[in-house]
Each structure stands twice: as C-alpha cells, then as structure tokens.
Chains A and B, each alone.
Chain A
C-alpha cells in the first residue's frame, strides 16, 4: 500500500517546494521575515490548512476519471509529479491542480473509464475564473483596505509595524489556504480509490507539502519573491491576500486551483485600481500556455503510463 502513495507524496513535496513562494516570497525577498522563519510558518500553516479543510476538494479529484483502482491512481499522480518537476527544472510556470487533472484524464482514457464531464466543465470554468476572481477580490481589497491604511498608517513607525505584522499574518493565512485548496492534488485520488482514509490522506499530503517547503523552497521563494517585491509592500500584501482568499473560496467549492494564477490575477486587479498595466502580455500567454500544456502534457504522459500498466 505504501509505495503506491509515494507519487502523491512526491507531488506534495514538489507542490510545497514551489508554491511556498506565492505565500511568503515577497516578504522573504524584501527581508521582512527570514527565510527560515517563513519556511517554518508556511510548513505549519500549510499542514493545518490541509488537515482542517483539505478534504473538501477530494470529491472533485476523485470524479475526474472514475479511477477506482490503486495502481492507475498512483500512475496518474506519478505522471503529474514528473511533469511538475520537469516544468520546474525548465523554469516554466506550472499548476499542480492542472497537472493532476490532466494526468487523471490520460490514465482514465487509457483504462477506458468514462470521464466526469460535469467535473471537467466545473474545473475548466474555475480555472478561467481563478485569475478573474482574484482580480476582483484584489480590486475590492485594495479599495477598502487602502482607505483604512491611508487613514491609520501616517508615519514610518506605524508603517514599519503594520507591514511587519500584516505581511506575516497574511502569509500564514495564504499558507493555510494553499494547504486547504491543493491537498487534494497530492493524495485526493487515493481517498477515492479507498487506499487512504480522508484523515490519513490529509496527514500524509499535508506533511509532504510541509516537507517540500522545509527542504527545497528557498530558491523559488527568492526568485518569485523578487518579482513581486517590485511592487510596493502594501500592493504585494494585497496581492498575496487576494490570492489566498480566492484559493480559500475555491476550497469551499471543492475545486483545486492554481495559486500562481490567482496571484497574477490579483496583481492585474491592483493595476486596474491604479490605472496601470501591471502584467505584460508574456505573463498572460504563459498562464494560458500553462493551462494548455500542463493539462495536455500530463494527459499524454498519463495515457502512456496507463497504457503500459494495462
């Protein structure tokens, strides 16, 4: 039983290592918090999020391709983990949610399973709406919190303390949302095939993501963080918060989505408030490319691996 869950843990590890940057990247890159402390907080809160609310997305992952046997489930997770890892090595943007869904589709087809049309439509719509929703959330947050910030933060002493406290609190919440939303990508399929109980799946998935954060998140955190630190501290905080709220809302709907795409959407929303273009065409193309190529790539690999085990 244990070896079949290893691909899920591998995917969880990769997810934690790469996605921690969307949570504490700007704070670490701007030295508001040390990398060690950020990694510790992210690992703790990602695990809590996974444990408390992570199971909400299990149903969606389980109904993508009606996989009911442990081996194809493990193969699909392995295909997703490999593509995530390869795209990371190649420096391409990747979504673990789209990777696992693509892999499940590929393996499902290779096994002759019926695909869950309703679930796929729900997922596709959600993925398109993720950056749009994050943009709306960040637009509203920027307007509302911005007014409060302007009226309360009136000198550098208050500014200093407000940024220190708020950015750490927001980072912890973002880690919680990430754990809650993305847990199902790692071990969700094992629950639907009956290999793991929801509780054990939450523990194992949460721990693997926390391990990824603790061991290998440093480089990505600084790289992604520096991209976001070109924003002012308040803007970066709102972008992370809007991304976290979006992920948390989707977790309530049981839909795993991409935290990176949520953040990009949030930055666009802030740009709308300020009347400036904050995201260039290349970034938008990379998001759309990420949707298409991650799903296609994992589906093809999943199909090939699924065909081999058949």
Chain B
C-alpha cells in the first residue's frame, strides 16, 4: 500500500549490520572466555582484539545509523525511538568488550569446580541476544512476532538472574580467599550484565512497537 524510501531502506540495512557486529562481539567473547578457562591466556588475548574490532565496527554502524536518520530517514518521533534502541543494543557490545577486557587483563582465578558454571552462565547470558536480534528484525518486517521474541528475552534473562544468584552464593560459600571471591563476583556481574542490557533493549523495542499501534 505504501512504498519505502531509499534512506529508510538504507537504515534498515545498517540496522541489520549493526546487530550482526554485536553478535560477532558476543561470539568473540565466548571464544575468549573458553580459551581463558582452558588456560590458553595468550590465545585468549589475541582473540580479544577481534572483540574490540567488532565493537568498534558496531559503534561506527551506530553512528552511521544516527547520521542517516538525521539526514531525513523516518519521521522525527520514530527517529528518536530507533536511535534509542540502537544505543541500547550497542551497550550489549560495550558490555561484551568490557567483560572480555576484565577477563584478559585482570585474569580472575576461576576455581576448577566453578569453570563449567561460568561457561554456562556466559552462554545463557549471550543467548538472550538471539531472540533480541530476531525481535529487532520484526520492526522492519512484521510487528506481530515481536511479543513472543521479547518474552523469550525476558524468560532467558530471568534464568540468567537465577544462575547468577546461585553461582554468587556458591562462590561465597566456597573455601576460596575473600579477595578471589570478590574478584569472581565481579566477573559474574560482567557476564550477567549482558543479559540485563539485552532485556532493557527488548523492553524498549516493545514500547516502540506499542507506540505505533492503534
């Protein structure tokens, strides 16, 4: 019924590319973390550069999206909403990078009994991004499927929260030194922050769509 403008199509493409770079950041973080828990510190450090690069690329895409929007793509009200979502999604890449930096630079000592749980926590925290990326695509295809995707983000985030709480409790009940406990707690926070930010972005996505409905 209504056609699409050239600038709008370009923003749509940039939007996809931005999300792709965030995904790359998260995949890179997982690689770094797996290498780290395997004790391959040097390889982990090398891989962390890829995370940094992907984060920089995501930032560049975000800035290009903002430029295109202010060149006239989309109506002003919609423009602000899209910028806000892009910025929120971009924070996921920022958190992935800072988690990566924390791991590689501070090298927290993860006791053997907690290694698997840390990996699982990271996987489920990163996992919240999958429904978010699918949900964000519905913005440009069909709003109807958005709700189920944002619900999925919320469910997965709750599961991460639960794991985070249990892991923190178990760390503090273990026999490791207090300084190490504090250090591990910080690592837990860095990992779970990714899912928290993903949930915030999903919530905003839902608000954005509700505002467009009758």
Contacts and interface: CB of A to CB of B under 8 A. Distances in A.
Contacts of B142: 154-155
The bracket for how many chain B residues form the interface is 20 to 34
Given A149-B214, A232-B211, A156 B78 contact: yes
Contacts of B184: none
A31 B74 CA distance: 11
Contacts of A232: 211
A150 B74 contact: no
A32 B143 CA distance: 22
B9 to A, nearest CB: 8
B140 A233 contact: no
A97 B212 CA distance: 36
A139 B1 CA distance: 25
B130 to A, nearest CB: 20
A234 B211 CA distance: 10
**Interface size, A (range):** 20 to 34
Contacts of A215: none
A164 B75 contact: yes
Contact of A160 (B1, B78, B143): B78
The secondary-structure label for the interface of chain A is helix
A240 to B, nearest CB: 16
Contact of A159 (B5, B141, B212): B212
B4 A146 contact: no
Given A154-B144, A155-B142, A160 B74 contact: yes
B12 interface: yes
A6 interface: no
Given A232-B211, A234-B214, A156 B74 contact: yes
A161 interface: yes
A156 B4 contact: no
Contacts of B212: 153, 156, 159
Nearest to A273: B214
A26 B140 CA distance: 25
A13 B180 CA distance: 78
B82 interface: yes
Interface string A183-208: 00000000000000000000000000
B78 A161 contact: no
- From A142, A146, A156, name the one whose CB has the most chain B CB atoms within 10 angstroms: A156
Given A146-B214, A149-B214, A150-B214, A158 B75 contact: no
B82 A156 contact: yes
B139 A155 contact: yes
B213 A155 contact: no
A160 B74 CA distance: 6
Contact of A161 (B4, B139, B214): B4
A119 interface: no
B139 A156 contact: yes
A156 B140 CA distance: 6
Interface in A157-177: 157-165
A114 interface: no
Contacts of B77: 30, 233
A38 B2 CA distance: 21
A152 interface: yes
A164 B211 CA distance: 16
Nearest to A161: B2
A146 B139 CA distance: 19
Contact of B2 (A30, A150, A165): A165
Contacts of B12: 157
Interface in B29-84: 74-78, 82
B3 interface: yes
B3 A161 contact: yes
Contacts of B211: 232
A185 B82 CA distance: 46
Nearest to A156: B139
Nearest to A274: B214
B80 to A, nearest CB: 11
Interface centre among A150, A152, A155 (most CB of B within 10 A): A155
A142 B141 CA distance: 24
Name the 5 nearest CB pairs between A and B, nearest first: A161-B2, A31-B76, A146-B214, A157-B4, A154-B142
